[in-house]
Amino acid sequence: MKTIKGPAIFLAQFAGDQAPFNSLDAIAAWASGLGYKGVQMPSWDGRLFDLQKAAESKTYCQEVKGTLARHGLEITELSTHLQGQLVAVHPAYDEGFDGFAAPEVRGNPARRQQWAVQQMLYAAKASENLGLTAHATFSGALAWPYLYSWPPRPAGLIEGAFDELAKRWRPILDAFDASGVDVCYEIHPGEDLHDGVTYEMFLDRVNQHKRACLLYDPSHFVLQQLDYLEYIDLYHDRIKIFHVKDAEFNPTGRQGVYGGFQSWVNRAGRFRSLGDGQVNFPAIFSKMAAYDFPGWAVLEWECCLKHPEDGAREGATFIADHIIRVADRAFDDFAASGVDQAKNRKILGLA
């Protein structure tokens, strides 16, 4: 069995224009001081990382790793959540997602998609240059506006959307395969891949591509009321990245899963800092250990109440306390009597 690596922290929610969050060296010192051992890198944030440069320069990648190493940190994975989202965008969301793209392609959906695909190809090569084996991203969405079927969906609409999604992602998956890196889709509302069934629909269309893997985040399943423990049983062989994020779901007579168009604070389903929500993390970490999860336990801080710096400080200790150092021997080894086939046959009445 493997002991999960960690704690690590996803830097996306912490990067900013003020020290210590405005440079890789400074934010690395901050994270290390809290007890983190790894960082997951948002590839779109130029204050911390240059994706194209990392794809084109192994020297730059060594510099990045060296900066982190000076603070006792490793890079766990790169993230292209924003760029992956732009691989597939329904026209209803053009304006909302345009800000995720480079300024020169905004307002032009075709060029924006080409830019996003190129970003993904950079991410494959950059991950290879950094010696990484897994990559975090979103799938994007063409079918999401039709999630709730009213008016009734036209026959073949969803199938056509997933056919196109697979067509767009297959070359990207092949590029990651050439680089030896798994593409780990965060199963997430707003994405066409938002639960196990939709993930399987996608897998079927990319011929069970071995690089089409998963980022596991139980918080999104709490908000969907999906069994996040059985999910691990079903898909453990595809789970390569783990976001440790908490959530709670408190339905009332006035609202439930859909949230009533309320702010995060006023929704029935809310993201919370680690330990403040309802996620059964002891059970999750036990399953991850039992299934030999090969990666890192990465804090993704999102909370509608607590200050992010408090969440980060508490999160490092929370994750460290939940990581199970797996046993190197069975608890009853002391009573073992050795292998004796003749004795075994006698016990079985076969002698």
What would the pLDDT profile of 182-232 be if each residue is shown by its tens digit? 999 999 999 999 999 999 999 999 999 999 999 999 999 999 999 999 999
Q: Is the pLDDT of residue 331 over 90?
A: no
Tell me the two tokens of residue 307: 């200050």
State how far the Cα of 71 lies from the Cα of 24, in Å rounded to an integer.
Answer: 11
Q: Which helix (H) or strand (E) holds 326?
A: none
Going from N- to C-terminal start, the domains of the chain cover 5-347
Q: What are phi and psi of 59, to 5 degrees?
A: -65, -45
Q: pLDDT tens digit string along 7-39?
A: 999 999 999 999 999 999 999 999 999 999 999
Q: pLDDT tens digit string along 218-269?
A: 999 999 999 999 999 999 999 999 999 999 999 999 999 999 999 999 999 9
Listed in sequence order, the DSSP H helices in the chain are 24-34, 51-56, 58-69, 81-85, 94-98, 109-130, 157-179, 196-205, 218-224, 228-235, 281-290, 308-322, 341-347
CATH for 5-347 is 3.20.20.150
What is the rounded (10 degree) CA torsion for 106, 51, 16, 141?
A: 50
